[in-house]
Every structure is written in C-alpha cells, then in structure tokens.
Amino acid sequence: MVAKNLQDTTTLHNGVKMPWFGLGVFKVEEGPDLVNAVKTAIKHGYRSIDTAAIYGNEEGVGQGIREGLKEAGISREELFVTSKVWNDDLGYESTLAAYETSLKKLGLDYLDLYLIHWPVEGKYKDAWRALESLYKDGRVKAIGMSNFQIHHLEDLMKDAEVKPMINQVECHPRLTQKDLKSFCQEHGIQLEAWSPLMQGQLLDNPELKEIANKHDKSIAQIILRWDLQNGIVTIPKSTKEHRIVENASIFDFELTAEDMEQIDSLNQDHRVGPDPDNFDF
C-alpha cells in the first residue's frame, strides 16, 4: 500500500504503527533553527521525528516537540520519535545508560523507536541485548538498527530473541539497496532511508528533472515519492518551512512504472555516507 497522506503509517512486524514520512535532523545544530524546524514540521502534519545521540541536538528536538505538540493541540502518543545509540556506548550496561540519557535530553518518558547507529564489530550483539531488555520492559515501542548490511543482520539474528523492526540505511536513486530491501522484506524488517536526497547532490540531475517536469513537481518530491512507492520509510531533513511543506506535498500524484524503472536505473551503488563494512569511528 502506498501512503495516501502525511499521517499514513506502515505496521511494523510487532504491530506498532510508524509514519511513512518524517523529519530528519542530522547536522542541525542546537538552537532556534532546530526548535523551529521540529515545531514547523508538527504544525504542517508531520508525525515522525528522527534524531540520534551523536547529532548532539536531542535537547532542542525535545523542546521543539513539546512546543509543537502544544501549538498543534495533539498528544505525545500521536508522535513517533526515534533516536539512536552511538558507537562509544555500545555494550549492555552502557547502551541502557545511553537510552536513559537520550530520554532525559529529549524530555520524554519513552521512545517509539531506538536504533543501534552503526554495526561496530564485536559490540552490536551486547547492545542488541540491551535494546531487547528495554523493549521487553515496555520502555520503547520498537527497536532496530541503522546501517546494517545483510551479513550484519544475519549475524545478529542468529542470537537475537527479538527480531529487528527497522533497518535505517542510506538509500537514494544512486544507492537503491535492492538486495538489502529484498532481504529485509523477506524477514519482515521495514527499510527506512536516511539521506534520501543524497545530501542535495541529485537536485540537478537531468533524468530526474525530466520526470519532475512531467509531473509538475520538484526533483526532491519525485525522489521522496519514489521512496514511498518502493515501500521505504523516508525522513528528509530541512530547517526551512517552505521546504518542509514542499517535501511532504507528494500525496497528490503517482509515478508510473516507467518513471520508477527510470529512477531505479540511476543506481551506481554510490554512497555519500560511510561504508558500513569499512568505517573507523
């Protein structure tokens, strides 16, 4: 099913409903711009906010959430909030402590989704046990990972008691992640895209421009629509109100099968972020 509006959700394998579309805040520094971006997103109907401990902006995100909920007159339960445990904190006790720190900074009682940020060898299994504990104790609604390749998922699931609900990875028309998506689908793990617009590097692509002109949409809207029609949750980042609104204005048109194939054909397995098989942080 393709999302029909901004508040449409996908049901994760544990029954939790997660919005298909959300706001990412990677590299948005603490301060009024961040608080306003979160408030603006909520005001315009976004119901999913994604942050991480390493972004160093959980406090501002929390403030934006509190102010945004109040202004929109909606409850905390109507919002889906994600954060991630950083590599330095991967370990059973240290991951549990990192979760409490994130909650405190965000000023929340629980998270909807908590992710292991990177598959640090020899560490992610202990961290996963901690996430399983938090999940079983009802402290978090869903758990998953970010940047895990197929072999990382296979390795983790050999010992896992709880199957991951989400795998959030770099995904855009130059990195379509087809094999990983098939694997996740097969195992009931929802794929989510970070950096869906390739950090702006695709916004002058001629092939995408042609499709955008045909639908009278922006290139960003074409890419985000392509995510949704591929069954991928997406979280574009922006701090500008007009862009936050524009990014989400993708429910009034549909890409054709031909458009979808044309976008798929742009794949070059090209990353703008680190390689999950070869990172040193």
CATH number of the domain encompassing residue 77: 3.20.20.100
Instruction: Determine how many CB atoms are found less than 10 A away from the CB of residue 269.
Output: 9
- Is residue 269 included in any domain, yes or no? no
Q: Which residues in 125-277 belong to E strands, given as ranges?
A: 140-146, 166-170, 190-194, 233-234
- Is residue 278 included in any domain, yes or no? no
- Is residue 280 included in any domain, yes or no? no
Of 11, 20, 86, 79, nearest in space to 229 by CA: 20
Domain count, the chain: 1
CB 145 within 8 A of CB 164: yes
Q: Which of 55, 99, 114, 135 is catalytic?
A: 55
Q: What is the average pLDDT score of the chain?
A: 97
Residue 27 confidence (pLDDT):
87
- State if pTM tops 0.75: yes
CB 113 within 8 A of CB 80: yes
- Is residue 2 included in any domain, yes or no? no
Of 59, 264, 262, 257, nearest in space to 178 by CA: 264
> 60-117: per-residue pLDDT in tens?
999 999 999 999 999 999 999 999 999 999 999 999 999 999 999 999 999 999 999 9
Does residue 55 have an active-site annotation?
Answer: yes
For residue 139, give its domain range: 9-264
CB 41 within 8 A of CB 25: no
CA 150 to chain centre: 18
